[in-house]
Amino acid sequence: MALLRKTLKEYLFFTEPDKPDDFVLEEGKDEGNESCNDAVKDGSGEKREKTEKVRKSKGVIKKLFTPEREDTACYGYDSNADNSEKNESDVKKESKDPESIKRKTSISKDVARNLEYMRKVYNVPLNGDVVIREFEIAFKDKTIPAFSIFFDGLVDRMLVNESILKPLMLLSNIEIKGKEDDIADYVQKHILPQSQMLLEESYEKVIFGINYGCCAIFIDGVDKVFVADAKGWEHRGIERPNAELVIQGPQEGFGEILRINTALIRKILKDEKLIVEDILIGERSKTPCSMLYIKDIVNDSLVQEVRRRLKGVKIDHLIDSGELEQLIEDSTYLPTPQVIYTERPDRVSRYLANGRIAIIVSGSPFALVVPATMWNLFHATEDEYVRFPYANLLRVVRLFAIFLTLLLPGIYIAITNYHHEMIPTDLLLAIEASREKVPFPSVFELLIMEVSFELIREAGIRIPGPIGPTLGIVGALILGQAAVSANIVSPILIIIVAVTGIGSFAIPNFSLAYSFRLQRFAYIALGATAGFLGISFGLFIMFLWIAKAKSFGVPVLVPYGPTTADVNKGNIFRNPTWKQNRRPDDLNVKSKNSQQEISRQWKINEEEN
Amino acid sequence: MSFDLIAAILILIWIFIYSSSYGVWTWNKKNRIGGAAVLLVSLAALVFPLYLIFFRT
C-alpha cells in the first residue's frame, strides 16, 4: 500500500530532480578529502561515493596524480613517462616477456655483448637504415673498443662525423690534462662537446633515444651509454597557414616539428610561466606531445583533467592531432566540435594567455586548444587584429552564413511544400513556373543538387594541382547550367544550393562547417516531413544536445547557458580592445585581469594636461 | 459519458495536478513570477480543454 502511494505520489506530483554532477573544473582540485567533505555538505555523499567507486574501478582517478618527472632527457622526453602509466595487466604481461626484462636491465660492460644485443634489437643487417660504426678510443696508452649506433636520415650526418666520431677517434689521441681514471668521465668532460648528452643506464632508454634521432655510443668497460642529441631529419619549413589565412596579422603557421612549434609559441609569449609539459602517447609510436599552459593563469583542475585524459590514451600509434582530438573529446556523437583546431601560433598564444591549454602533437601542423565553447569556434583569428566595428560586421556576416548553411535548404523545402502563404504571390508563381517542367518533387530535386555540390567539393579537394579549383568552376557553372537546361533542377534551386555552399565557406572553423553541412541534411528531411514544425523540432533537439555538452568540464554554450558574468562581454560581438580587461570567466582562471582597468593610461595623462 | 471522455478528463486532471505542483515548487523556491505563471498555465491547460469539451458547440 505504501509502495502504491509512493508511486502515485511520484507520478502525480512534481518532485525535485537530483542535483546534477558537479562542475569538473572545481571538483578536480583534489579528488580526496575536499571533494568528500563537499559531498557530505551538500547531502549527495552516497551518490558521489558510488560514482567515485565506479571511476576508481575503471582506473581513472588513480592515474590522475602522477609523480613529477625527474628529468627530461636530451631528446626532450622521459622514456619512462608513459611506462609509469601502464596498468597492472600490462606490467604482468611484460614481466613474463624476456625481451622486455632484458630491455630494462642495466647495460653490460662488455661492448661485444652490447653490440650483439643492439644488432638483435634492430634486426641488423635486415634493417637497412641502421648505422653501426665500430672504432677505438685511445685512453692512457691503451685502446678501448667502442661503437656508435644511429638511424641514417634521422641524424645530422655532419654533426655525427664532426662532433662525435672525430673527437672520439682523433682527439682521444691528444694528451689532455685530466686526472680522470674512468673513461666515461674522461669522454664526457674532455672529448664529446655535445650540449645535450645523457649517460643512460638501461637499454630501454638508449633504444628510445636512438629511435628519436640520437646517436648512442657504447664503450667497452663502461656500463653506461652516451646518448647524444644529433637530430637532423628533413622537414617542412615555417609556411603561411593554409586553412586560416588572414590579411592583417602574423603570417606564420605551425610545421611538423614539435620543438619548432613550441618555440613559435614561446617566441610570441616570452613568459617564463609558460609551461611546455611533455607527454608520450602511443605504446609503439611513442609520439611526443606537448601540453602548453601558463602556470599562473590556468586553472589547475583543468591542467589535471587534460593531463589525465592524455595519459589515459592507450593506443599503439598516434600520427596526427586529429586522432588525438577524437580520443580526448567529451562526446563522440555530438555533431559540433569540442576542441579548437588551429595551425596559427598567434591564435594558440592568445588562448593560452586567456587560460586555456594547448596540445601539440609531433608531426602535426595543427594544435588543439581546450576547452572550446561555441563562441570560440565562431570567432576568426582576424577578429582581434582589425578594428572592432569591422570585426563586428564580420561576425554578423558569419552568423548569417551559419543560418544560411544550416537552415536555408530546409526552409526552402518547408515553404514550398507547406507554407505557401508565407511568400508573396508573385514570387510563388515565379518559383512554380520555374519548377513547371521539373519532373521530380522539390525535396528530391534539392537532394540531387546538395549531393552534387558535396561531390564537386570533395572532388575539388582530392584532385591535385590547379585542376581542383577548375573542377569547382566547371561543376558549378557548366553542370548547373546543363542541369537547368535539361529540366532536372529549377534555377532557383541552383541559387539556394550555391548560397548555402558559400555560407559554409564563411564559417571560420573547418570542423564547425563540417558539422553544419552534416546537420543541413537533417533539416532538409525535417522540413520535407513536417515543415516549420519539423525544423523547430530539430532546432529544439539540437539546442538541448548542445546545452548539455561540455568540453573538458566547461559547458559548450557558456556564458549563455549557463549564464555567467561574461554574458555581455564580447562573445557574439567584440568589445574594443581597451575594454577587454578581464579574461573569460568560464575557466575560473587564477589571474582574472588581462590588462589594467584603464589600459590607455595616456588618456588620463592627456586629460590632466 | 463515454470511456474516451473519462480518460481525457483524467489525463487533464493529472496534467493539471503535476504542473500546478511544479508551480508551487517554483513559488517556494522564491521564484514568484515563475511560479504564478506556471500555475496560470496549468489552470489554462485544464480550463480550455474542459470548455472545448463541454461548452463549445
Instruction: Say if the Cβ atoms of B18 and A14 lie within 8 Å.
Output: yes
In terms of CA atoms, which chain B residue is nearest residue A11?
B18
What is the rounded (10 degree) CA torsion for A463, A465, A469, A473?
-80
Rounded distance, CA A95 to CA A108, Å? 20
Handedness of CA A319, A325, A329, A335 (dihedral sign): negative
Confidence of residue A609 (pLDDT cuts 50, 70, 90): low
Q: What is the pLDDT of residue A176?
A: 63
Instruction: Say if the Cβ atoms of A12 and B17 lie within 8 Å.
Output: yes
Q: What is the pLDDT of residues A160-214, one digit of tens each?
A: 998 889 888 887 667 666 666 778 888 888 888 878 888 888 898 899 899 988 9
- Could you tell me if A16 lies within 8 Å of chain B, comparing CB atoms? yes
In terms of CA atoms, which chain B residue is nearest residue A15?
B22
Measured between its terminal Cα atoms, the distance across chain B in Å is: 17
Q: What is the pLDDT of residue A35?
A: 41
Position A393, amino acid: L
CA distance B20 to chain A (A): 8
Rounded distance, CA B57 to CA B51, Å? 10
Rounded distance, CA B29 to CA B19, Å? 15
CA distance B16 to chain A (A): 9
In terms of CA atoms, which chain A residue is nearest residue B29?
A16
Q: What is the pLDDT of residue A49?
A: 53
Confidence of residue A77 (pLDDT cuts 50, 70, 90): very low
Instruction: Say if the Cβ atoms of B21 and A16 lie within 8 Å.
Output: no
Q: Is the pLDDT of residue A72 over 80?
A: no
Instruction: Say if the Cβ atoms of B17 and A16 lie within 8 Å.
Output: no
Residues 6+ apart with CB under 8 A from A280: A77, A78, A79, A81, A82, A286, A287, A288, A289
Which residue would you say has higher pLDDT here, A27 or A113?
A: A113
**Contact residues, chain B, for A11 at CB < 8 Å:** 18
Burial class (CB in 10 A: 0-12, 13-18, 19+), A41: exposed
Q: What is the pLDDT of residues A337-375, one digit of tens each?
A: 999 999 999 999 999 999 999 999 999 999 999 999 998
Q: At what angle do helices A491-505 and A425-435 cross, to 10 degrees?
A: 100
- Could you tell me if A14 lies within 8 Å of chain B, comparing CB atoms? yes
DSSP class of A202: B
HSE-CB of A517 using CA atoms within 13 angstroms: 21
Q: At what angle do helices A33-41 and A45-57 cross, to 10 degrees?
A: 150
Q: What is the pLDDT of residues A445-465, one digit of tens each?
A: 999 989 988 888 888 888 877
CA distance B22 to chain A (A): 5
Which residue would you say has higher pLDDT here, A19 or A7?
A: A7
Rounded distance, CA A318 to CA A577, Å? 39
Work out how many CB contacts closer than 8 A connect A with B. 14
Q: What is the pLDDT of residue A96?
A: 53
**Contact residues, chain B, for A13 at CB < 8 Å:** 17-18, 21
Which residue would you say has higher pLDDT here, A39 or A539?
A: A539
Q: Is the pTM for the entire model greater than 0.90?
A: no
Mutation target to probe the B interface, by most B beta carbons within 10 A, among A13, A15, A19 is: A13
Q: What is the pLDDT of residue A581?
A: 83
User: Among A339, A348, A204, which residue's Cα sits nearest to residue A264?
Assistant: A348
Contact criterion met (CB below 8 Å) for A79 and A208: yes
Instruction: Say if the Cβ atoms of B22 and A14 lie within 8 Å.
Output: yes
Rounded distance, CA A359 to CA A279, Å? 10
**Contact residues, chain B, for A16 at CB < 8 Å:** 25
Which residue would you say has higher pLDDT here, A46 or A193?
A: A193
Confidence of residue A606 (pLDDT cuts 50, 70, 90): confident
Instruction: Say if the Cβ atoms of B18 and A12 lie within 8 Å.
Output: yes
**Contact residues, chain B, for A14 at CB < 8 Å:** 18-19, 21-22, 25
For A58-71, what is the mean pLDDT? 36
Contact criterion met (CB below 8 Å) for A473 and A422: no
| CA distances from residue A344 to A228, A235, A340 in whole angstroms, order as listed | 32, 18, 11
Q: What is the pLDDT of residue A454?
A: 87
Q: What is the pLDDT of residue A39?
A: 41
- Could you tell me if A13 lies within 8 Å of chain B, comparing CB atoms? yes
Query: Per-residue DSSP letters for A564-597?
Result: -GGGGSSSSSPPPGGG--B--GGG--S--BSS-S
User: For chain A, what's the residue count?
Assistant: 609
Q: What is the pLDDT of residues A312-336, one digit of tens each?
A: 999 999 999 999 999 999 999 999 9
Q: What is the pLDDT of residue A127?
A: 85
Instruction: Say if the Cβ atoms of B21 and A14 lie within 8 Å.
Output: yes
**Any idea which residue has 523540432 for its cell?**
A537
Q: What is the pLDDT of residues A20-42, one digit of tens each?
A: 555 555 544 444 444 444 444 44
- Could you tell me if A17 lies within 8 Å of chain B, comparing CB atoms? no
Phi, psi of A412 (to 5 degrees): -60, -45
Among A11, A12, A16, select the one facing B25 at the smallest CB separation: A16
User: For chain B, what's the residue count?
Assistant: 57
Mutation target to probe the A interface, by most A beta carbons within 10 A, among B18, B26, B41, B42 is: B18
In terms of CA atoms, which chain A residue is nearest residue B15?
A12
Print pLDDT tens along chain B (57 aa).
788 889 999 999 999 999 999 999 999 999 999 999 999 999 999 999 999 988 876
